[in-house]
């Protein structure tokens, strides 16, 4: 059973890197030198990346941090060095990488041709170990007794030059990863979960970034306040226009036009520049310059034929929301209730969050439309979970539960 107590002693503040803040690598020569030093190091490689989420449209990396035993820490600016990274790839792509929340950083690193041969994710390790708090600072404090103070993770990392305080923060993020990996591996081994973790890490490594969901415009904040297809069409046209502008300028869409302004315009449906500019936000100097673009988007929505309007409710491609099951399919609701209760009980026993035991969406899918076959139910459900990407350790624990829920309900 994992230890769920917090350390009693006060953590030691970690304020500066042990070897100081290294200079930022901004040239091909610097990349080659870093690659040689990293090659001479030993063991796994600690990796982190900083993006400019909320400021830029792209999710590209604006700083890459690397650390290896015997080599030290390196801060790489991938913007001026993007064409010079071949020596680095040859050195580090064959190594095990240590990242925290690897799925956040692997896509932007892959854009640079940087991809690990093996992975250890300290955030995911914390989840599997049953830690209640799995942020980097929380895990570092719990396992290493060090205090990583909140810094500049949400800053605009496309800023140049990067302030010294930001670089200090960035270097500290990889300063602890080597030691943290050792501590988390020991914890997982003590709980008998090291193989579970290996399967999870490999799944994250091999799984690319999620595919963009269809109709992303439906995620516009406050869109639920609009009730007509014509209003939704206006949101769609304005959202698409904003997205095109944001992509071309590499600026976060919310900095082009806030969601609240889109919803307000779709609701008011102004038919002139004056009426549009009378709405909140659109009267500002920046928006006045682009008023015609927004008005044109509204006019396109007004001109759409009825059969070109989006439905008020997004069509389901899988099971409906579970809240509707009791009326639409009582047997499926009963199966789901049984399965969820058993998985929750399993979660308590093995100290792994329910969502890490098995995707809730996958549980719903099996319970809504269970296999109708003369073959063994357990084997069929195992095949379904395998095809959906469930790992062996997950299937071993959850297939009997799902099979039991399917068999015991009508």
3 part of a folded domain: no
Residue 279 is predicted with a pLDDT of 96
Say which residues have a Cβ less than 8 Å from residue 211's Cβ, sequence separation at least 6: none
One domain for residues 343 and 398? yes
Buried/exposed code over 280-289 (b: 16+ C-beta within 10 A; e: otherwise): ebbeeeebee
Q: What is the DSSP string of 294-328?
A: HHHHHHHHHHS-GGGSPPSSPPPSSPPPGGGHHHH
- Nearest of 239, 303, 302, 313 to residue 268 by alpha carbon: 302
One domain for residues 20 and 66? yes
Residue 314 is predicted with a pLDDT of 78
Residue 85 is predicted with a pLDDT of 98
Average pLDDT over residues 201-229: 92
Neighbours of 82 (CB within 10 A): 13
One domain for residues 138 and 262? no
Say which residues have a Cβ less than 8 Å from residue 82's Cβ, sequence separation at least 6: 112
- Phi then psi for residue 49, to 5 deg, are -145, 145
Report how far residue 146's alpha carbon sits from residue 183's, in angstroms, rounded to the nearest whole number. 13
Residue 153 is predicted with a pLDDT of 84
Q: Are 63 and 50 in contact (CB under 8 A)?
A: yes
One domain for residues 139 and 21? yes
Q: Are 14 and 172 in contact (CB under 8 A)?
A: yes
Q: Which of 206, 238, 255 is the last residue of a domain?
A: 206
Q: Are 45 and 95 in contact (CB under 8 A)?
A: yes
Q: What is the DSSP string of 190-221?
A: HTT-HHHHHHHHHHHHH--PPPPPS-GGGG-T
- For residue 15, pLDDT beyond 90: yes
Say which residues have a Cβ less than 8 Å from residue 250's Cβ, sequence separation at least 6: 56, 57, 58
- Phi then psi for residue 104, to 5 deg, are -75, -35
Domain CATH for 389: 1.10.150.80
Q: Are 362 and 388 in contact (CB under 8 A)?
A: yes
- Phi then psi for residue 69, to 5 deg, are -55, 135
- For residue 4, pLDDT beyond 80: no
One domain for residues 366 and 396? yes
Q: Give per-residue pLDDT as tens, 342-357.
A: 999 999 999 999 999 9
One domain for residues 48 and 192? yes
| Structure token digits, residue 52 | 């400019």
Q: Which of 308, 335, 350 is the last residue of a domain?
A: 308
23 part of a folded domain: yes
One domain for residues 342 and 198? no
Average pLDDT over residues 67-73: 98
Q: Which of 137, 171, 206 is the last residue of a domain?
A: 206
314 part of a folded domain: no
Average pLDDT over residues 172-194: 97
5 part of a folded domain: no
Neighbours of 87 (CB within 10 A): 17
One domain for residues 125 and 242? no
Neighbours of 156 (CB within 10 A): 17
Residue 374 is predicted with a pLDDT of 64
Q: What is the mean pLDDT of the chain?
A: 94
Average pLDDT over residues 43-62: 97
Report how far residue 348's alpha carbon sits from residue 366's, in angstroms, rounded to the nearest whole number. 22
211 part of a folded domain: no
Report how far residue 275's alpha carbon sits from residue 271's, in angstroms, rounded to the nearest whole number. 7
Residue 124 is predicted with a pLDDT of 98
3-class state of residue 24 by DSSP: strand
Residue 410 is predicted with a pLDDT of 55
One domain for residues 242 and 357? no
- For residue 3, pLDDT beyond 60: no
Chain-centroid distance, C-alpha 210: 9
6 part of a folded domain: no
Domain CATH for 158: 3.30.420.10
One domain for residues 200 and 222? no
Report how far residue 290's alpha carbon sits from residue 256's, in angstroms, rounded to the nearest whole number. 10
4 part of a folded domain: no
Report how far residue 364's alpha carbon sits from residue 382's, in angstroms, rounded to the nearest whole number. 15
- Residue 74 domain boundaries: 12-206
| Structure token digits, residue 181 | 């990996």
Split into its structural domains, the chain has a count of: 3
One domain for residues 178 and 226? no
Residue 168 is predicted with a pLDDT of 96
Report how far residue 246's alpha carbon sits from residue 343's, in angstroms, rounded to the nearest whole number. 43
Residue 25 is predicted with a pLDDT of 98
Q: Are 218 and 263 in contact (CB under 8 A)?
A: no
Report how far residue 251's alpha carbon sits from residue 141's, in angstroms, rounded to the nearest whole number. 36
One domain for residues 72 and 143? yes
160 part of a folded domain: yes
Q: Give per-residue pLDDT as tens, 365-401.
A: 999 988 876 678 899 999 999 999 999 999 999 999 9
């Amino acid at each position: 059973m994992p230890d769920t107590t917090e350390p009693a002693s006060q953590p030691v503040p970690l304020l500066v890197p042990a070897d100081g803040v290294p200079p930022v690598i901004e040239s091909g020569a610097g990349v080659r030198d870093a690659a040689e030093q990293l090659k001479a190091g030993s063991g796994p490689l600690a990796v982190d990346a900083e993006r400019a989420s909320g400021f830029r449209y792209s999710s590209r990396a604006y700083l890459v941090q690397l650390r290896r035993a015997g080599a030290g820490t390196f801060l790489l600016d991938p913007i001026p060095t993007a064409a010079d990274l071949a020596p680095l790839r040859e050195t580090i792509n064959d190594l095990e990488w240590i990242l925290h929340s690897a799925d956040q950083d692997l896509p932007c690193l892959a854009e640079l041709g940087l991809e690990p041969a093996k992975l250890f994710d300290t955030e995911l390790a914390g989840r599997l170990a049953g830690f209640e708090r799995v942020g980097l600072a929380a895990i570092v404090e719990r396992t290493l007794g060090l205090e990583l103070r909140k810094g500049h993770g949400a800053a605009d990392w496309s800023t140049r030059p990067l302030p010294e305080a930001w670089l200090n923060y960035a270097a500290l993020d990889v300063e602890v990863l080597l030691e943290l990996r050792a501590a988390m591996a020991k914890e997982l081994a003590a709980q008998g979960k090291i193989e579970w973790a290996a399967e999870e890490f490999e799944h994250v490594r091999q799984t690319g970034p999620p595919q963009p969901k269809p109709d992303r415009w439906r995620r516009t904040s406050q869109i639920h306040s609009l009730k007509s297809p014509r209003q939704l069409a206006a949101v769609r046209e304005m959202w698409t226009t904003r997205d095109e502008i944001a992509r071309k300028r590499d600026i976060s869409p919310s900095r082009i036009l806030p969601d609240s302004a889109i919803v307000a315009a779709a609701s008011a449906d102004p038919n002139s520049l004056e009426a549009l500019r009378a709405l909140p936000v659109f009267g500002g100097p920046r928006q006045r310059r682009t008023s015609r673009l927004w008005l044109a988007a509204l006019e396109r929505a007004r001109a759409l034929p009825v059969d070109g309007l989006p439905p008020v409710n997004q069509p389901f491609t899988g099971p409906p929301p579970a809240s509707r099951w009791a009326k639409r399919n009582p047997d499926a609701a009963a199966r789901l209730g049984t399965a969820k209760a058993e998985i929750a009980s399993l979660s308590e026993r093995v100290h792994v969050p329910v969502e890490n035991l098995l995707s809730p969406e996958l549980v719903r899918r099996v319970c809504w439309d269970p296999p109708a076959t003369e073959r063994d139910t357990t084997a069929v459900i195992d095949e379904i979970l395998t095809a959906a990407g469930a790992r062996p350790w997950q299937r071993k624990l959850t297939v009997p539960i799902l099979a039991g829920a399917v068999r015991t309900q009508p």
